[in-house]
Every structure is written in C-alpha cells, then in structure tokens.
Structure 1
Amino acid sequence: MGTGDNGGTVRADVVVLTALEVEYRAVRAHLEDPRPVQAERGAVFELGVFREGAGERRGSPSI
C-alpha cells in the first residue's frame, strides 16, 4: 500500500469475508463495478472498487 504515479491516491487490496447473506449484500452495495470471478479450485467471489475520499480500495466480498 502506498502512493505511486496515481496523483497521491492511496490504493489497498482488501478481502471482506461475511458469514451472512445480509452482510454480503451490504458490503456489495458499496462496490463500484462488481464482477464475478471463479478461482481455480471453484470458489466464486466478486471484485470491485470501494472509493472513499482520495483513497481507493479494491474489495472482494465473499460468503
């Protein structure tokens, strides 16, 4: 995590693991451009971007 050539924007990759469907939906509602990904061993998760002020966080909610 740090600043690069992106104008001082901080970027961090995060994973959000939820136990309940209602939690999953709440987290997913905050993702921009959510897209499903299937991992090599069959796990399915979604990637998207959380934006907060000048920071950007790539998020992956999963249940």
Structure 2
Amino acid sequence: MAYNKMAIAALVCAVLVPPFGILMGHIAWAQTGRTGQRGHGLALAALVIGYVELLVLCGIPIVALGF
C-alpha cells in the first residue's frame, strides 16, 4: 500500500511553511485514520514539526521582546 500523498506534502510544508504543514497534517491524520493508508506517522511528524517550528518562530521573539 502506498503512502498518503497528503501526509508526505504535510511533512514538506511543515518544514517550509508551518501553518500549511499543520493544516495539511491534520487533514492527513484524519485521512490515514479513516482509510487505513500508510502515512499516519508522517502526518504526526508534520504536526509536531509544524507546531514546534511555529512556536519557535513566533514564541521566542515575543518572549525576547517582553510582550
């Protein structure tokens, strides 16, 4: 069985553009759970990477500037 294409795209987008990676990761997570396709772990990795990268890119500057 092939990997879910949305899960692969989500992982790539999570590294490049975290908000899109997070959105696509949630969609891929639901698809792989519903259809049983491979890629559940890729979707999870996209979510983790996307959320962590978003936190780093947005959270640290906010804390550093004292807001």
The structure in which a higher percent of residues are strand is 1
Q: TM-score band (shorter)? A: 0.3 to 0.5
Instruction: Calculate the TM-score normalised by the size of structure 2.
Output: 0.33
Larger radius of gyration: 2
